[in-house]
Amino acid sequence: MSAASCLLTEDQFLCSICLDVFTDPVTTPCGHNFCKTCITEHWSTNVPYRCPNCKELFYTRPELRVNTFISEMAAQFRQLAQQKASSSSSEQQVSKPGEVPCDVCNGTKLKALKSCLVCLESYCETHLEPHLTVSGLKRHQLTDPVENLEGRMCTIHDKPLELFCKTDQICVCMLCTYSDHKTHDVVPLKEEYEGKKAELGKTQAEIQQMIQKRRLKVEEIKHSVELSEEDADREIADGVQVFTALKESVERSQAELIDTIKEKQRKTEEQAEGFIEELEQEISELKKRSTEVEQLSCSEDHLHLLQSFTSVNAAPSTRDWTKISIRPPSYEGTVVTAVTQLEEMLSKQMKKLFEAVLKRIQQYAVDVTLNPKTAYPERILSDDGKQVKHGDISKNLPDNPERFSTCTCVLGKQSFSSGRFYFEVQVKGKTDWDLGVVRESINRKGQINLCPKDGYWTIWLRNNNKYKALAGPGVHLSPKSRPD
């Protein structure tokens, strides 16, 4: 066992709460070891029950029993440490910078083991021997090595500071109690030391509790950051999906717009090409007729001219082009129509997106019931606590601290300190209403100012058409439709 103990380090036998060698070590379900007293006190002041090391949460307080194996190992380690400390203290060591040297040594100064508050000197092991063996010196008060022993003497009477004046909160000597501190409340240094040490112990416990609370707050903040990161990733993914669809819709609408305009232009060009082809055909025939007329007019054959005159002089068979023209198609409104269709599509996408967001938010839905203990006396609550209306007569109700005395308000029974909560309140048909959340510590008596500074986060409706967020100062709201 000794050989095995030598392979282990001091850190393996230290409680992570008190930072000392285990005393009655116990093991938590997650496998970590603590002093029984340390973990018991820790869980008495910290709920829920978490392991101080790995932060694993236990919904019920675990039953703890002393780990006999660890207890025996810790006892052996403590014994080995004491033996090591005892053996090392017997070795003569040269005083190093920062250590208290022996005042008696000549030449090389050895490290002091004790300081005498009577002799006002520090001694190494060799020079400390008289104080351990000589009867007169054995009564001297020894302490761990300290520098500036003169500071432990009364500057007025040159006597050891053995007492503490609680009136003036300073250390004094015996002669001081007969002079300047004669009527003061004076106690032995040890008595005050014990009291102050107890206070320090209490302060240390409070500090440890503050540290633990801050560690829990760190974990809470980290958890919030993780949730935020998850929400951010989800929103980015949703956003990319929505905007990709919107981009594709815009590109598709743009392509359809261009195709529509080009199709109109194509039909115009086809019509024009048909007219031009027909005109060129008529021009070709007219040229041929012109040649025939010219040849006939130059003929000297009387009979031939007279016989051909009727057919050549007749009007050619052509279209009346005076009423025919190419009218460019109107493109006015084409873009407007395309944008209008795109707007309708965007509106549908927005509606789908809103429904998806609302569905995701509704997973945090909570059941809210109204608390009759908080209701203003003229407020009438339904039996199930789900509805409230204004009565004409003020009921005679006890004016308990929770009840509003002058403001016609009522609060829900449910409360929360963190997290997300979703609930709906029906306001349809109301011409005036106030709605929001408040701190539990709000003032409920007398005149009340609805603003965040006083613990109110609310919106209201007045005169059937004026909406405002009471942010101090208020912010006017302009909803697209009346909320139900």
pLDDT digit string (tens) for 86-98? Answer: 554 445 677 788 8
pLDDT reading at 400 higher than 80:
yes
pLDDT of residue 81: 62
Q: Where are the domains of the chain?
A: 2-89, 231-356
pLDDT at 2: 44
More confident residue, 467 or 66: 467
Q: Is the pLDDT of residue 4 over 60?
A: no
Write out pLDDT tens, residues 111-157: 898 988 778 888 998 888 888 888 778 888 888 888 877 777 888 88
Note the pLDDT of residue 6. 45
Mean pLDDT over 204-214 rounds to: 94
Whether 169 has a pLDDT exceeding 50, the answer reads: yes
pTM: 0.45
Q: Please indicate whether residue 18 or residue 219 has the higher confidence score (pLDDT).
A: 219
Q: Does domain 2-89 have CATH number 3.40.50.720?
A: no
pLDDT of residue 309 exceeding 50, the answer is: yes
Banded pLDDT at 3 (limits 50, 70, 90)? very low
Between the CA of residue 356 and those of 34, 151, 348, 484, what are the distances in Å?
49, 76, 12, 20
Higher pLDDT, 78 or 407: 407
Note the pLDDT of residue 82. 61
Q: So what's the pLDDT on residue 317?
A: 82
Determine the pLDDT at residue 84: 58
Confidence of residue 447 (pLDDT cuts 50, 70, 90): confident
**10: pLDDT strictly greater than 50:** yes
HSE-up of residue 92 (Cα within 13 Å, Cβ side): 11
Mean pLDDT over 305-324 rounds to 84
**Residue 19 CB neighbour total at 10 angstroms:** 9
Asked which of 60-64, 210-214, 461-465 is least confident by mean pLDDT, the reply is: 60-64
